[in-house]
């Protein structure tokens, strides 16, 4: 049995989704950028998701979000399905868009972990050797100065979405500082410093290796159905929690293990026909699809 996700309210996540066979289906373009931003704004409003940062690379995307109402799976299903259909339509294709399997959602244990992952997301184009500065990335990218600076007004793109359809003509998307960081300007300052440090590290490594950056112009010239020339990385672990502090990491893993153990015990009891079985807090799919009773959170 596939290990279930534990979905609890108020958790901040690093969310990642990759394209089918590593193809550049999300390659930056005016159409792709507009579609993704619009669908992200609609999905965030629809499911009460707080968006802190995002970066859409050519063959995957990263988000850092807080799931206020424990609706992350619904948010991801809506976002991924609509982005796939709309971008596929803009490219004149209909084949699989996302890699097999599900999205990755890594729960972040502390404000410091959140800061590190936001910096990681926003410097992803630099780490990948595509541009020397994160601000040079021509794809969808959330600038640090936009956090806490008021809502973005996002207009419905032409083409896939019907003018007379149910999708709103204009939707707002507010980028907010993550929980534990107030006021917004303090978080922005920390983030700018973290981004600069990561960019310096990559620049130093490239200088030592004698290699340059691909550059925005060459990124924009890539075909959407192309893929990276290097072989795919070997499959490794798929973490569900991230914590730089060892004891916080041990504690978070312990909670997750306890949830999985309690979930499997409840599952076996339900399969055996026992009545009144209570599933642990954070049970999602069985609660949504079958209405199983669950323990309260907190």
CATH superfamily name and code, 11-244 = Transposase IS200-like (3.30.70.1290)
Angle CA(52)–CA(29)–CA(162) in degrees, nearest 5? 85
The C-alpha atoms of residue 121 and residue 142 are separated, in whole angstroms, by 10
Beta bridge pairs of residue 12: 66
Chunked into runs of 10 residues, the chain (298 residues) has average pLDDT values of 85 97 97 98 98 98 97 97 97 94 93 96 97 97 95 94 91 95 91 97 94 95 91 73 86 91 94 92 91 87
Query: Is the bond preceding residue 10 a cis peptide, omega within 30 degrees?
Result: no
Residue 296 has what pLDDT? 87
Beta bridge pairs of residue 129: none
Q: At what angle do helices 184-209 and 111-122 cross, to 10 degrees?
A: 50
Residue 144 has what pLDDT? 96
User: Any idea where the domains of the chain sit in the sequence?
Assistant: 11-244, 248-290
Token pair, residue 169, equals 């003509």
SS3 content of the chain, % helix, strand, coil (to 5): 45, 15, 40
Q: Is this model's pTM higher than 0.85 or not?
A: yes
Token pair, residue 265, equals 């015990």
Residue 236 has what pLDDT? 67
- Closest residue by Cα to residue 55 from 33, 82, 83: 33
Residue 234 has what pLDDT? 64
């Amino acid at each position: 049995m596939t290990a279930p996700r534990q979905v609890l309210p108020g958790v901040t996540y690093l969310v990642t989704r990759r394209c089918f066979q590593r193809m550049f289906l999300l390659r930056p373009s005016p159409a792709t950028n507009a579609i993704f931003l619009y669908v992200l704004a609609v999905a965030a409003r629809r499911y009460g998701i707080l968006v802190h940062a995002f970066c859409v690379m050519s063959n995957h995307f990263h988000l850092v979000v807080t799931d206020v109402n424990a609706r992350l799976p619904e948010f991801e299903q809506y976002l991924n399905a609509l982005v796939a259909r709309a971008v596929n339509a803009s490219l004149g294709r209909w084949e699989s868009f996302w890699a097999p399997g599900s999205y990755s959602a890594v729960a972040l244990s502390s404000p410091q972990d959140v800061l590190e992952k936001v910096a990681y997301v926003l410097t992803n184009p630099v780490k990948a050797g595509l541009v020397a500065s994160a601000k040079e990335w021509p794809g969808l990218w959330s600038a640090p100065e936009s956090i806490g600076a008021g809502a973005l007004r996002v207009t419905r793109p032409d083409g896939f979405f019907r003018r007379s359809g149910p999708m709103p003509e204009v939707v707002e998307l507010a980028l907010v500082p993550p929980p534990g960081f107030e006021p917004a300007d303090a978080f922005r300052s920390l983030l700018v410093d973290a981004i600069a440090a990561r960019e310096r590290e990559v620049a130093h490594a490239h200088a030592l290796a004698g290699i340059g950056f691909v550059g925005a112009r060459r990124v924009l010239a890539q075909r959407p159905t192309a893929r990276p020339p290097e072989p795919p990385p070997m499959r490794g672990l798929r973490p569900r929690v991230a914590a730089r502090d060892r004891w916080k990491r041990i504690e978070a893993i312990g909670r997750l293990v306890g949830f999985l153990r309690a979930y499997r015990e409840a599952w076996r009891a339900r399969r055996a026909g026992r009545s009144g079985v209570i599933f642990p807090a954070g049970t999602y799919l069985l609660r949504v699809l079958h209405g199983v009773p669950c323990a309260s959170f907190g």
